[in-house]
């Protein structure tokens, strides 16, 4: 084993244990323009934006807030995506 490998193994052992929370974002064009987006695995986690990028950034802020204020909302449902929705898989890293 090389010194670099030993250092890497040592560093990995010191990292806090984490788990990934997979989420699905469903983007739907809004009638008035822009996009609405919701997390399919969570109750009442929605956002919107003029573009998909803006909706995504706004959704990140909502997810972060909901994880702090109401983490029990996640994993409570598995809703099918709305017709015509653009789906994106997200992974949130949480401490174990």
CATH assignment of the domain containing 53:
3.30.160.250
Average pLDDT, the chain: 85
Domain limits at 38? 23-95
| 7 domain-assigned | no
| 1 domain-assigned | no
| 10 domain-assigned | no
Total structural domains in the chain?
A: 1
* Cβ neighbours for 6, distance < 8 A, ≥ 6 positions apart: none
Beta-carbon-side half-sphere exposure of residue 83 (alpha carbons within 13 Å): 0
- What pTM was estimated for this model as a whole? 0.76
Question: Can you give the pLDDT of all 96 residues of the chain as single tens digits?
Answer: 566 666 656 666 666 677 788 999 999 999 999 999 999 998 889 999 999 999 999 999 999 998 888 888 787 677 899 999 999 999 888 776
| 65 domain-assigned | yes
Backbone angles phi, psi at 70, to 5 degrees: -145, 60
pLDDT in tens, 8-29: 566 666 666 777 889 999 999 9
In 3D space, the residue among 80, 93, 64, 76 whose CA is nearest the CA of residue 24 turns out to be: 80
Residue 87: its pLDDT value, please? Answer: 96
């Amino acid at each position: 084993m090389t010194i670099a490998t030993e250092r890497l193994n040592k560093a990995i052992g010191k990292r806090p244990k984490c788990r990934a929370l997979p989420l699905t974002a469903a983007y739907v064009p809004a009638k008035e323009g822009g996009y609405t987006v919701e997390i399919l695995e969570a109750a009442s986690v929605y956002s919107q934006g003029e573009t998909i990028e803006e909706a995504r950034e706004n959704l990140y802020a909502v997810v972060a807030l909901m994880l702090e204020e109401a983490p029990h909302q996640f994993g409570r449902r598995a809703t099918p995506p709305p017709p015509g929705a653009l789906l994106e898989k997200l992974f949130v890293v949480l401490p174990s």
